[in-house]
Amino acid sequence: MNSLHFLCTTLATPSAQPRSSTRPFFAKPSHFITHARRNHRLQVSCNTSDQNQNVENPERKGKVDRRNILLGLGGLYGAANLVSSPEASANPIQAPQLDKCGVATNLNNGKQLDINCCPPLGENIIDYRLPPVFQMKIRPSAHRVTPEYIFKFNMAMDRMRRLPKDDPRCFMQQANIHCAYCNGAYDQPGQGTLDLQVHNSWLFFPFHRWYLYFYERILGKLIGDPTFALPFWNWDNPKGMTIPPMYLDPKAAIYDPKRNQDNLKAVIDLGMTGNKDPLQVVANNLTIMYSEMIRSNTDVYDFMGQPYREGTGVNPGPGASERGSHVAIHVFVGDPREPSGENLGNFYSAGRDPLFYCHHSNVDRMWSLWQYFLPSNKVPDKRITDPDFLNASFLFYDENAQLVRVTVKDSLDNLRMGYDFERVDLPWLDYRPPPQTARARITRTSSTAPMAAALFPLNLDGIVRFQVPKAKKGKADELLVLENITVDTTKFLKFDVFVNDEDDNVMELDKAAYAGTYAQVPHKTSNKSATTSIRLKLTDLYDDMDVGDDDTVVVTLVPRHQGPGVTIGGIKIIEAPPKATTPPSS
């Protein structure tokens, strides 16, 4: 097994001037790409911390780190905000009122839970300030960890499980954080009974980053190791597309019996196609990762999720990563023997499986990759400067059991938060589907497929195929928009979208015709239904198909769930709007 890279070279000489560093660079195109240089302002926190920061040695001359490490007098240094702090905003989502926490709901049947997800009430709330970083934590790939790491991880989890039940840092209290924020125990402050939900919007990535940040610090505190870092489940790489072996030991503190027994050693099916050919499943998985990280996104909101402000309903729209690979892992691991897919298959119980934190560590890694490491010519602008995003806040208990308030703007940079990820290959980075070569069958089929206007609104309970007019002829930048998708939020739902699919083999996703997906893990809303929309970028898809002179394209919708639960109000193709970082207020 490879070492965990816990120890890196530390900058020892203080300086008042910024310095740059380099990261390891791999020559193969599918490997991690070099970091882009960024400028920072010097910011030094006077908070005390036992956390240390370091910088890896340069390994390739001329390549610079994605951050300039800033050295302060006395050796304290940190990185500045990615986006400067905005003026106070009128209506960001505010941290919940813990004294008004209510009964959470089982999302699979709509009934109240027989557990209390509410946290202990703290006497006072402190606005959290990120401590200075002296030594960087490196989160390791869960498939590559050493026996020493496994021992340390299990020791930390065992001590967390042994904490008193009323300690907010204990295992069940930490698991209940996800239950309270995701199953309707909290209302939006000042908005009556309108639920607070951290999924299906631009809050998805920041909330879970903060959640893991404190979970990790609690584990490190319990074993006296401030360098301890959570592992990440490397399910975006074929070598990591099974449950990490260390989670399968029944005697381990990180074991959970409530998992799908058929999937303990199976290759993850991120597409949930049901395909039994492991080679095809891997090919599908890599195509999905390329699609949700690069191909399907037109702007920052397509990846991050749609705006969510005070007074907004709880399903403004999930980003590509949340509704794709994230959902698939929850469903893949959740135990079908349990009445509601416990543990990982239901939001209220997901945090009870230690594998949840390993899964979301990789989700967090996807955000970091998308922010800093993907080529600028492949992804849109990655910053959200909207104050309603940056000033949204949450409440957590830190490693000292102190109740703290945190904001989204302080979570934008994982290095500033003191952790990074082990470098591993990115085989999906160049996994663009091959161009479509056949055209005749689509031409024949399109003459018989009905126009979309004749079918919508559409109850999607089976495969459906129809024509959609293009916005204009040629290979213009266009978006496929699925509008007013109304879903039963108590169910797992998923459907895939194909354009001009020439072979009708819906078990294979590694082809130019695959445009994207919509999926959800069950989540609570006030009336058990929610309406959203998704957009899928067609630019690369058009480039890989001979559609320049066509007036229409043929769209195929393939549900992967069983039974009803999805109604789609309409579908259309529009020209991609000019890039913008801030949408109109909702």
419 secondary structure, DSSP code: E
31 labeled binding residue:
no
The CA-to-CA distance between both ends of the chain, in Å, stands at 50
Q: Is 143 a catalytic residue?
A: no
360 labeled binding residue:
yes
Characterize the bridge pairing of strands 464-469 and 529-537: unpaired
SS3 (DSSP) at 537: strand
Q: Is 178 a catalytic residue?
A: yes
* The one catalytic residue among 326, 359, 523, 561: 326
Helix ranges (H only) for 87-203 are: 147-162, 171-182
* The one catalytic residue among 6, 32, 171, 178: 178
* The one catalytic residue among 143, 360, 523, 561: 360
Q: How far is residue 108's CA from residue 405's CA, in Å, rounded to a whole number?
A: 31
Give the list of residues 6+ apart from residue 146 with CB closer than 8 angstroms, or none. Answer: 1, 3, 4
CA 220: distance to chain centroid?
A: 24
Which helix or strand (DSSP H or E) is residue 70 part of? strand 69-70
Can you read off the two tokens belonging to residue 107? 């999302």
Cβ-contact 269, 560 below 8 angstroms = no
Q: How far is residue 493's CA from residue 477's CA, in Å, rounded to a whole number?
A: 29
Q: How far is residue 240's CA from residue 497's CA, in Å, rounded to a whole number?
A: 26
Return the closest-CA partner of residue 359 out of 392, 322, 388: 322
Helix ranges (H only) for 421-473 are: 440-446
Cβ-contact 420, 236 below 8 angstroms = no
* The one catalytic residue among 153, 228, 330, 332: 330
Which helix or strand (DSSP H or E) is residue 224 part of? none
Characterize the bridge pairing of strands 403-407 and 393-397: antiparallel
Q: Is 561 a catalytic residue?
A: no
Q: Is 199 a catalytic residue?
A: yes
Which helix or strand (DSSP H or E) is residue 204 part of? helix 204-222
Q: Is 5 a catalytic residue?
A: no
Cβ-contact 316, 308 below 8 angstroms = yes
Q: Is 523 a catalytic residue?
A: no
Return the closest-CA partner of residue 236 out of 309, 324, 356, 347: 324
Handedness of CA 97, 414, 305, 110 (dihedral sign): negative
330 labeled binding residue:
yes
Q: CA-CA distances (angstroms) from residue 199 to 102, 196, 275, 497?
A: 19, 9, 28, 22
Helix ranges (H only) for 310-465 are: 320-321, 327-333, 355-372, 387-390, 440-446
Cβ-contact 139, 209 below 8 angstroms = no
Give the list of residues 6+ apart from residue 354 with CB closer than 8 angstroms, or none. Answer: 157, 247, 253, 254, 255, 256
Q: Is 208 a catalytic residue?
A: yes
Q: Which residues are annotated as a binding site?
A: 178, 199, 208, 326, 330, 360
Residues carrying an active site annotation = 178, 199, 208, 326, 330, 347, 360
Binding site members for Cu cation: 178, 199, 208, 326, 330, 360
